[in-house]
């Protein structure tokens, strides 16, 4: 349970860490800026502050993005755990039944001349008398 307490929600913790790192770095930079100001080098202090801000920002973004990635992976894992695959894939028995329904019994065709139902084992159309060899397969 201690491990759970220490490492649970690591994604959001990393995000908080990123914000904290940014805040602490900015505070540190501001102190450095004030010290440089006191020593009388204003321009130098401004440059240090700007460069420090950019680096702290980029660094925090990288950590924050990593935290967000961890959170997303965790969410995807949870979704996959909850997903019921059996409802997505019907049982094999049911599939074979639907396939059997899709195939018409004893090779039935439609006569191209009159449209009547003709079966493969008959030589001529039972309605109009057209030859079976001329009848196209539907």
Site string for Zn ion, 28-47 (x = CB under 5 A): --------------------
Q: Does 128 bind Zn ion (CB under 5 A)?
A: yes
- Helix residue ranges, H only, the chain: 2-7, 10-38, 42-82, 85-88, 92-102
13 interacts with Zn ion by CB under 5 A: no
# chain residues binding Zn ion, by CB under 5 A:
8
Binding segment toward Zn ion, per CB under 5 A, in 16-24, 45-53, 58-66, 120-128: 120-128
Query: Closest CB to Zn ion among 11 and 112?
Result: 112
Burial readout 80-94 (b: 16 or more C-beta within 10 A, e: otherwise): eeeeeeeeeeeeeee
Kind of pairing between the strands at 108-110 and 117-119: antiparallel
């Amino acid at each position: 349970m201690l491990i759970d307490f220490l490492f649970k929600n690591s994604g959001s913790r990393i995000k908080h860490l990123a914000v904290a790192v940014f805040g602490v770095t900015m505070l540190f930079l501001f102190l450095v800026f004030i010290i440089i100001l006191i020593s009388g080098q204003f321009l130098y202090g401004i440059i240090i502050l700007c460069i420090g801000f950019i680096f702290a920002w980029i660094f925090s973004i990288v950590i924050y993005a990593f935290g967000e990635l961890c959170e997303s992976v965790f969410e995807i894992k949870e979704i996959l755990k909850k997903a019921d695959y059996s409802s997505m894939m019907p049982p094999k028995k049911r599939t074979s039944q639907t396939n059997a329904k899709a195939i018409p019994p004893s090779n039935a065709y439609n006569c191209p001349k009159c449209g009547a139902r003709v079966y493969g084992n008959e030589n001529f159309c039972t309605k109009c008398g057209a030859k079976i060899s001329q009848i196209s397969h539907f």
